[in-house]
Chain A
Amino acid sequence: MIRNDVAITPELVKEHGLKPDEYERFVTLIGREPTITELGIVSAMWNEHCSYKSSRIHLRGLPTKAPWVIQGPGENAGVIDIGDGLACIFKMESHNHPSFIEPYQGAATGVGGILRDVFTMGARPIAALNFLRFGEPDHPKTPHLVSGVVAGIGGYGNSFGVPTVGGSVGFDKRYNGNILVNAMAVGLARTDEIFYAKATGVGNPIVYLGSKTGRDGIHGATMASAEFDDASEEKRPTVQVGDPFAEKLLLEACLELMKSGAVIAIQDMGAAGLTSSAVEMGAKGNLGIELDLDKVPCREEGMTAYEMMLSESQERMLMVLKPGMEKEAQAIFHKWGLDFAVIGKTTDTLRFVIKHQGEVKADLPIKELGDEAPLYDRPWVESPKQPVITPDSVKAPMSEAEALLKLVGSPDQCSKRWVWEQYDHLILGNTVQTPGGDAAIVRVEDGPKGLALTTDVTPRYCEADPFEGGKQAVAEAWRNITAVGGLPLAITDNLNFASPERPESMGQFVGCVKGIGEACKALDFPVVSGNVSLYNETNGQGILPTPAIGGVGLLDDVTVNASLAFRREGEAIILIGATHGWLGQSIYLRDVCGREDGAPPPVDLAQEKRNGDFVRQLIRSGQVKTVHDLSDGGIALGLAEMAMAGGVGAEITAYPENLPLHAFLFGEDQARYLTAVDEDVAADILYEAGAVGIPAVTLGLTGGDALILPGQQAISVKQLKAAHEAWLPNYMTGKA
């Protein structure tokens, strides 16, 4: 009989984030009152972060399969086949709440956690990306959070030695009390050397590897599953502290150990640490797990079973080893100066048994801890449809040239150089396209292949119409990859939403997931991994619905690619895709007209695919080297970015008579690309497009040192660049 020293009161249950009915469910399951250790374990397993209890039924609708998908959601990361016996392993994950409380360590350990997810599967990380959203610039906390998060991401990735090649940074008052820090990692492995979490064999040793266990991060996953209030800063002790050097050692030691053939199963200790990793390995393998906590390497004295089971100390791994190979494994870990301890064994009892100081502290049914977690079909309401704003109904408050200058220097559209220069984006010597383009490109080993990588979503579209916004997020990631010449293969999704217990935000979640699923199906772009982050709200104010999409695409020949920079004078600028002057929810409407209303641009997925496939073919055939996909700020901002990147101006002479100029230039119609080519190639492209019914028109010519919009005063490229580069550094030094 298990001894129970602590009476489980309703208050204690509440402190553990369990609802009374959830606690009752647990008591019924085990047939007695739990010990405090068991209560801790179930709170870790049944919180939103680990159990996906509000999101699971909706996620089932997402497409997760394709001939090139080796492993979809449910493992540490998704795996796709990129040919030549190589697999690309990748995932994105949030660290929003810890980063708000302690920006440097929160962001740093977010990067550490996602790198670990990738190398746990046997992959060497080759690139990192991120997706960041901060509160409005005027909010007093914003500069501090930007500074800390960026330094933390750099501090971890730079030391670990992975290039941080891409990302997205934006500001909105809706993130004032709850920033978003989503980190993505991409790794490479041989397709026949991928490692999984599923334990096999009875009586096999369970080994603890890496850093020692301390009292940091206890209840981190529970914190991540609750709303914030004014007292949230008091939760700082639940934030873990990262050690990128230890992570680097852990990477090298794990990869070396995997090569030795000693590893049966491996799981990193992430959210809910030892608890979640051990349960996962046992449950997946239909085995019981018995742990002896006296063997766990501890950083502090006198740690209880409860603390050890809930610690989220970083840079730790759990493995099931082939029996008899302990010595060999230990030698590898000691070479790298890391702890190694056999702390338990697999059993045939299907029980999760925790022993400490000669006593059983927990004895739970292992499968049920995962399978019997509560599952909710939460009530939700559809977001009200917004009216469509016609182009003619929006009056231009300033000239188009003035509007463009304003936008290139605005917080969301300005250059993020200040951010990405703090990330080592050049290490490994394979970064073919650096941050600042549509998608990053990294060469795969010594070539000839390359990967195109991006993170994207437009939260204001998702708020105005979750379904269209979800579609658009996937379409834009697909377009980013296409614009550099990549074939989009798969995505990881990081679904950041407010409380699922409010029907409005649950409705946003449901709508966005449906939209994501629809777009993934239409574009052959399955979801292979992801993360759900709910309860992103403070004092009842929710964030914008933000399903960040991390996309991965393949270039068969990495030397055949496109970038957004104008290359030379006298090239014809061609617009591919239809333009209707869609201003609803546009950046122009928000930042120039001061209005945040209307329906967002609809996404026609058939057009998206047709136009994108056409553009990719132009790049792959070598006809086109300059491409930029259009999104925020439409044609005008697209042209400005191409001019700034290449240091070459352009004059736009053609525009439709039937649209107001500002709607034509700043509308955010989807499925569009700009390209610049020799005039004779231009004729071919226009002909080819016409033959398959793809809208394509010549807008003007590159040349000169200024961008000249129709009937507008010329804006020198120098002036554009000055505005574009100035805002963020000035803001961060208190000058903006």
Chain B
Amino acid sequence: MKSAVIVFPGSNREGDVLRALKSAGSQAEKVWHAETELPKGTDLVVLPGGFSYGDYLRCGAIAGRATVMDAVRAHAARGGLVLGICNGFQILCESGLLPGILMRNANLKFICHRQFLRVERNDTAFTRNYAKGQAIDVCVAHGEGNYTADEETLKRLEGDGLVAFRYADAQGHITQDANRNGSMNSIAGIYSDKLNVLGMMPHPENLIEDLVGGTDGRGLFESLVSSFPRAA
């Protein structure tokens, strides 16, 4: 599998996600935000965490309109896989690839902590190595992760099974305490209609080794790699 990690000037978790992709067996390279095309043969595009252009305006608002995003939109339209993590999720919402928006956290503060997520479905390219309903331990690090959408959008996301992950406790129960940023329906990540675009606030890429806390995040990258059985 071949991954392209888009680097905006203020991206700062591109190294973390490159490490996770490579350790799961993907080829991975960085692509500068001013590029107009993706490398030939790109299977997966990753929009990593960070502060794309400083994010002094609405997070991801400028990045959503960056040159490279036309190529990303075209890739998604062809059915190509796109993963946006944290700032990447914000950018996907701003670029029109995913519905809704990420507001300031309910407590109005940046929060960084370990967090369990419930895997809502395991029949997608991103989650096939997890069990449905499994509680996975990942990291959270954001100031604006409070997922918000209008009633109709929310109904559609729920009705069509497009919620990817929800904030949960260690047993996989959805509780108010586990939903620290105040997201609607405890939503931590969502899919596009065709399930080829995933945006999520938490960082699976920071939990891929026992030495730094655990390996639950590996499953997502291994799922992706195993979706491309023939690739190097």
Residues of A in contact with B (beta carbons under 8 Å apart): 151, 154-155, 158-161, 243-246, 248-249, 252, 336-337, 420-432, 434, 443, 558-559
Bound-state CA distance A427–B141 (Å) is: 8
Structural contact, A243 and B54, CB atoms closer than 8 A: yes
Q: Which residue of B lies closest to A450 (CB)?
A: B211
Find B212's partner among A154, A421, A432 (CB 8 Å cutoff).
A432
Find A245's partner among B13, B54, B111 (CB 8 Å cutoff).
B54
Contacts of A159 in B (CB 8 A): 10, 12, 51, 54-55
Some 23 contacts from A to B, beta carbons below 8 A apart, are A151-B109, A159-B10, A159-B51, A159-B54, A159-B55, A161-B12, A161-B13, A244-B51, A245-B9, A245-B10, A245-B55, A246-B54, A248-B9, A248-B51, A337-B9, A421-B112, A424-B112, A425-B112, A426-B112, A426-B213, A427-B12, A429-B209, A430-B212
**Is B50 positioned at the interface, with any CB of A under 8 Å from its CB?**
yes
Contacts of A423 in B (CB 8 A): 110, 112
Find B211's partner among A154, A245, A428, A558 (CB 8 Å cutoff).
A558
Find B53's partner among A245, A336, A424, A558 (CB 8 Å cutoff).
A245
Q: Which residue of B lies closest to A729 (CB)?
A: B107
**Is B100 positioned at the interface, with any CB of A under 8 Å from its CB?**
no
Query: Knowing that A243-B54, A421-B111 are A-B contacts, what are 9 other residue pairs whose CB atoms are under 8 Å apart, sorted by A's residue number?
Result: A158-B112, A158-B141, A245-B55, A248-B9, A249-B9, A422-B112, A426-B212, A429-B19, A430-B212
Structural contact, B211 and A559, CB atoms closer than 8 A: yes
- Chain A min CB distance to B86 (Å): 10
Bound-state CA distance A430–B139 (Å) is: 13
Structural contact, A426 and B9, CB atoms closer than 8 A: no
- Chain B min CB distance to A246 (Å): 8
Q: Which residue of A lies closest to B208 (CB)?
A: A429
Bound-state CA distance A430–B206 (Å) is: 9
B12, B54, B208, B209 — most chain A CB neighbours (10 Å): B12
Bound-state CA distance A398–B20 (Å) is: 53
Find A155's partner among B110, B205, B209 (CB 8 Å cutoff).
B110
Contacts of B55 in A (CB 8 A): 159, 245
Q: Which residue of A lies closest to B114 (CB)?
A: A426
Contacts of B110 in A (CB 8 A): 151, 154-155, 158, 422-424
Structural contact, B51 and A426, CB atoms closer than 8 A: no
Bound-state CA distance A551–B86 (Å) is: 33
Give the 7 A-B residue pairs with the shortest CB-CB distance, closest first.
Answer: A161-B12, A245-B54, A424-B141, A159-B51, A429-B16, A426-B139, A424-B112
Q: Which residue of A lies closest to B52 (CB)?
A: A245
- Chain A min CB distance to B68 (Å): 15
Assess A421 versus B13: contact at CB under 8 Å? Given A427-B141, A429-B206.
no
Question: Contact string, B178-222, partner A, CB cutoff 8 A, digits 1/0?
Answer: 000000000000000000000000010110110111000000000
Question: Contact string, B13-34, partner A, CB cutoff 8 A, digits 1/0?
Answer: 1011001100000000000000
Contacts of B50 in A (CB 8 A): 161
Total contacts A-B at CB 8 Å: 84
Contacts of B230 in A (CB 8 A): none
**Is B40 positioned at the interface, with any CB of A under 8 Å from its CB?**
no
Bound-state CA distance A60–B53 (Å) is: 45
A161, A422, A423, A429 — most chain B CB neighbours (10 Å): A429
Bound-state CA distance A512–B72 (Å) is: 59
Bound-state CA distance A285–B67 (Å) is: 45
Q: Which residue of A lies closest to B113 (CB)?
A: A421
Structural contact, B54 and A427, CB atoms closer than 8 A: no
- Chain A min CB distance to B216 (Å): 14
Contacts of B111 in A (CB 8 A): 421-422
Contacts of A158 in B (CB 8 A): 110, 112, 141, 143
- Chain B min CB distance to A619 (Å): 16
- Chain B min CB distance to A415 (Å): 13
Contacts of A426 in B (CB 8 A): 112, 139, 141, 203, 206, 212-213
Contacts of B206 in A (CB 8 A): 426-427, 429
- Chain B min CB distance to A169 (Å): 16
Bound-state CA distance A151–B212 (Å) is: 25
- Chain B min CB distance to A113 (Å): 19
- Chain B min CB distance to A418 (Å): 9
- Chain B min CB distance to A229 (Å): 33
Bound-state CA distance A421–B109 (Å) is: 9
Contacts of A443 in B (CB 8 A): 211-212
Structural contact, B9 and A336, CB atoms closer than 8 A: yes
Contacts of B20 in A (CB 8 A): 429
Bound-state CA distance A433–B48 (Å) is: 24
Contacts of B141 in A (CB 8 A): 158, 424, 426-427
Find A248's partner among B12, B16, B203, B211 (CB 8 Å cutoff).
B12
Bound-state CA distance A160–B206 (Å) is: 17
Q: Which residue of B lies closest to A446 (CB)?
A: B19
Contacts of B12 in A (CB 8 A): 159-161, 248, 427
Bound-state CA distance A155–B143 (Å) is: 9
Scan residues 31-68 of chain B and give those whose CB is less than 8 A from a CB of chain A.
49-51, 53-56
Bound-state CA distance A290–B212 (Å) is: 51
Q: Which residue of A lies closest to B50 (CB)?
A: A161
Contacts of A245 in B (CB 8 A): 9-10, 51, 53-56
- Chain A min CB distance to B181 (Å): 12
Contacts of A432 in B (CB 8 A): 211-212
Bound-state CA distance A264–B110 (Å) is: 40
- Chain A min CB distance to B170 (Å): 13
Contacts of A161 in B (CB 8 A): 12-13, 50
